[in-house]
Amino acid sequence: MATFFGEVVVAPSRAGLDEEEEAREETPEDREIRREIEKKRYRRRGRLRLEIRAREVDVLWTCAEQPLVCSRFIVAIGRNAAAFLSSFILDSVCWEVVGVVKLWNEWCRTSSTTNVLPTDSFCLFYRLIADPTVLLCQCSCYVAEDQQFQWLEKVFGSMQKKGLQVTILSTCPVADYKTQESTLTLVSPFLRALKTKEFQEQVCCPLLEQPNIVRDLPAA
Amino acid sequence: MFVPCDRGGGSAAPDFKGFTLLMPAVSVGNVGQLAIDLVISTLDMTKVGYFYTDCLVPMVGNNPYATAEENSMELSINAEVYSLPSKKLVVLQIRSPFIKNKYRPFCETLLSWVKSSKCARVVLLSSSHAYQRDDEQLLGTPLRYLLTPDLEKAVGGRMKELNWKEMEKVAAYPGINNTDKVLHIPGGGITKLLFTESCSEGIQMAVLLKFCSEGDNIPDAFVLVNYLNEWLQLIKSEVSTVWSKWKIPSSWRLLFGNGLPPALF
């Protein structure tokens, strides 16, 4: 692809990574190089310290009852949605912390502590004391695409679903909203919803119009 | 992997025995996926299920083939299966990129599903970087095909009748040794992997691909779907141009952004 200045650049493909770049088999030469690097690292540091990037997602439940019985699960994903819950819903009288997610990726790291600041990256689970089947999740950290499925399986795998209704709260930039008119003239913020056909209740706002989509953890 | 839609009344999982599975590779220009959109939209195919997989980036939206308010509210996700029993056709649409290191697991699971559901053959729509063509490939048609040995026996003759061009192999070490030839499909995503695995597993697979570049790939999608139609005759093509016969889905609106702010002028 030629740019305006006449230089030729390789445009990244919308199709993503070329499979051939990614799935290249390790040749014997590559293996030898890797072994030598590992040996040097061992000799230099005096003890073996493997720099393994752990992309495991750990869900640590602090309550004794397992699996948790759940009839309502509200998930707030992203800093804005998490802040909404902190401001309007959560308090220490009616809600208790019952779990935390510990993960690491290139964008953030969460810890197993439940004592967090609003500016931290965290993912906490709360239970309504008056009705322990109502669970709430505040996820202000970014869950990477290769961790989203894991998060899903581990969180929902820990629940005993009882007529479960899930509500997902999330935000997206107005600039990403696809509409015939310019987003400059749109009155924002505004709400849109997606629902499964099993959800029979009234939705409080219009449904998300095509060609708009939702991605990442809310989509998962 | 495959989860059938719940159509109510305890209906059994759909039967794909003897069907042709049509699917895209996530490749340069997303041409295969756009072509599949045209097939599903034009033939008004019914969704029969989806793939529950951790290999694709999650995404969700409303029905991309909606034609009216009533049918616009069905959720749609990243890998869905549509069927048209009258043509013994089952179509897989993939709507998001692969997650790193998940190409091979996806291919293995997919081919295992193809075998267990007893599909007769697989047709993969794909594309390859136009800028990587050699001098000969720059001339003539930008369309190519590949057949696994098992399918070559069945339909190789038909491809010759249609005067189609088989995808050329390239030198493994160009400039050094021009005798060792390998299949090279740059920008083709999982095309090469799926094709070579199908060859070794005895699966009947055809690859139809177009050389193209990133940009407005709608014309490329039309060219590819017409190429497919020359062989499979999904829609009648007695008219010299079949462009108007393919129905563009509603989700293709605003592919290149929103309307412009009036203040710009």
- Nearest one of B125, B104, B128, B124 to B197, comparing CA atoms: B104
Class of CATH domain B16-171+190-255:
alpha beta
A106/B contact by beta carbon, under 8 A: no
Bond prior to A211 in cis (omega within 30° of 0): yes
A14/B contact by beta carbon, under 8 A: yes
Cα B8 to chain centroid, rounded: 30
- Nearest one of A169, A163, A168 to A69, comparing CA atoms: A163
User: Other C-beta atoms within 10 Å of B211: how many?
Assistant: 23
Question: CA B192, CA B189: separation in Å to the nearest integer?
Answer: 8
Model confidence band, residue B171 (pLDDT cutoffs 50, 70, 90):
confident
Question: CA B79, CA B102: separation in Å to the nearest integer?
Answer: 14
Interface A-B, measured as beta-carbon pairs within 8 A, has a size of 139
Element (H, E) at B84: strand B79-84
Residue type, B151: L
Q: With an 8 Å Cβ cutoff, are A1 and B253 in contact?
A: no
The single-letter DSSP state of residue A8 is B
Q: With an 8 Å Cβ cutoff, are B214 and A178 in contact?
A: no
ipTM (interface pTM): 0.79
Q: Which residue of chain A is at minimal alpha-carbon distance from B58? A: A220
Model confidence band, residue A46 (pLDDT cutoffs 50, 70, 90):
very low
* Burial zone of B95 (CB within 10 Å; 0-12 exposed, 13-18 middle, 19+ buried): buried
Question: CA B198, CA B149: separation in Å to the nearest integer?
Answer: 9
The phi, psi pair for A184, rounded to 5°, reads: -65, -30
Contact list in A for residue B124 (CB cut-off 8 A) is none
A184-193, B57-66, B198-207: the lowest-pLDDT one: A184-193
Model confidence band, residue A54 (pLDDT cutoffs 50, 70, 90):
low
Q: Point out which residues pair with A155 in neighbouring strands.
A: none
Interface test with B, best of A8, A9, A13 (most B CBs within 10 A): A13
- Over residues B142-166, the mean pLDDT reads 92
Q: Say which residue the tokens 């200045």 belong to.
A: A5
Q: pLDDT by residue (tens digit) across A77-96?
A: 999 999 999 999 988 889 99
Q: With an 8 Å Cβ cutoff, are A182 and B26 in contact?
A: no
Contact list in A for residue B59 (CB cut-off 8 A) is 213-215, 219
Residue A27: what pLDDT?
A: 57
Q: With an 8 Å Cβ cutoff, are A22 and B101 in contact?
A: yes
Give one DSSP letter per residue of A86-97, joined into a string: HHHT--TTTEEE
Contact list in B for residue A213 (CB cut-off 8 A) is 59-61
Residue A50: what pLDDT?
A: 42
Q: What angle do CA A94, A153, B191 make, to 5 degrees?
A: 145
Instruction: Provide the 3-class DSSP secondary structure of residue A128.
Output: strand
Instruction: Provide the 3-class DSSP secondary structure of residue B155.
Output: helix
Residue A200: what pLDDT?
A: 86
A176/B contact by beta carbon, under 8 A: no
8 A C-beta contact, residue B182 and residue B191: no
8 A C-beta contact, residue B188 and residue B209: yes
Predicted TM-score (pTM) of the model is 0.85
B62-76, B87-101, B126-140: the lowest-pLDDT one: B62-76
Contact list in B for residue A19 (CB cut-off 8 A) is 98, 103, 188-193
Q: With an 8 Å Cβ cutoff, are A195 and B214 in contact?
A: no
Residue A37: what pLDDT?
A: 61
Q: Is the pLDDT of residue A21 over 70?
A: no
Q: Where are the domains of chain A?
A: 58-171
Instruction: Provide the 3-class DSSP secondary structure of residue B79.
Output: strand
Residue type, A184: L
A26/B contact by beta carbon, under 8 A: no
> Distances in Å between the alpha carbon of B141 and those of A2, A78, B30, B166?
24, 49, 19, 11
- Over residues B89-107, the mean pLDDT reads 93
Q: With an 8 Å Cβ cutoff, are B96 and A11 in contact?
A: no
> Distances in Å between the alpha carbon of A152 and those of A57, A59, A139, B30?
10, 10, 12, 28
Give one DSSP letter per residue of B45-113, joined into a string: PEEEEEE--SSB--EEEE-TT--SGGGS--EEESEEEEEEGGGTEEEEEE-SPBPTT-HHHHHHHHHHH
Question: CA B32, CA B189: separation in Å to the nearest integer?
Answer: 11
Residue A48: what pLDDT?
A: 39
Element (H, E) at A86: helix A79-88
Interface test with A, best of B36, B60, B196 (most A CBs within 10 A): B60
Q: Residues for chain A: how many in total?
A: 220
Q: pLDDT by residue (tens digit) across A57-82?
A: 888 888 777 788 899 999 999 999 99
The single-letter DSSP state of residue B211 is E
Model confidence band, residue A49 (pLDDT cutoffs 50, 70, 90):
very low
A3/B contact by beta carbon, under 8 A: no
- Over residues A11-31, the mean pLDDT reads 55
Bond prior to A67 in cis (omega within 30° of 0): yes
Model confidence band, residue A51 (pLDDT cutoffs 50, 70, 90):
very low
The single-letter DSSP state of residue A54 is -
Instruction: Provide the 3-class DSSP secondary structure of residue B80.
Output: strand
Q: pLDDT by residue (tens digit) across B202-256?
A: 999 999 999 999 999 999 999 999 999 999 999 876 555 555 689 999 899 887 7
Q: pLDDT by residue (tens digit) across B9-21?
A: 555 678 899 999 9
Residue B9: what pLDDT?
A: 54
Q: Which residue of chain A is at minimal alpha-carbon distance from B262? A: A182
Model confidence band, residue A47 (pLDDT cutoffs 50, 70, 90):
very low
Q: pLDDT by residue (tens digit) across A119-128?
A: 788 899 999 9
Nearest to A183 among B64, B73, B258 (CB): B258
Q: With an 8 Å Cβ cutoff, are A210 and B192 in contact?
A: no
Q: Where are the domains of chain B?
A: 16-171+190-255
8 A C-beta contact, residue B59 and residue A218: no
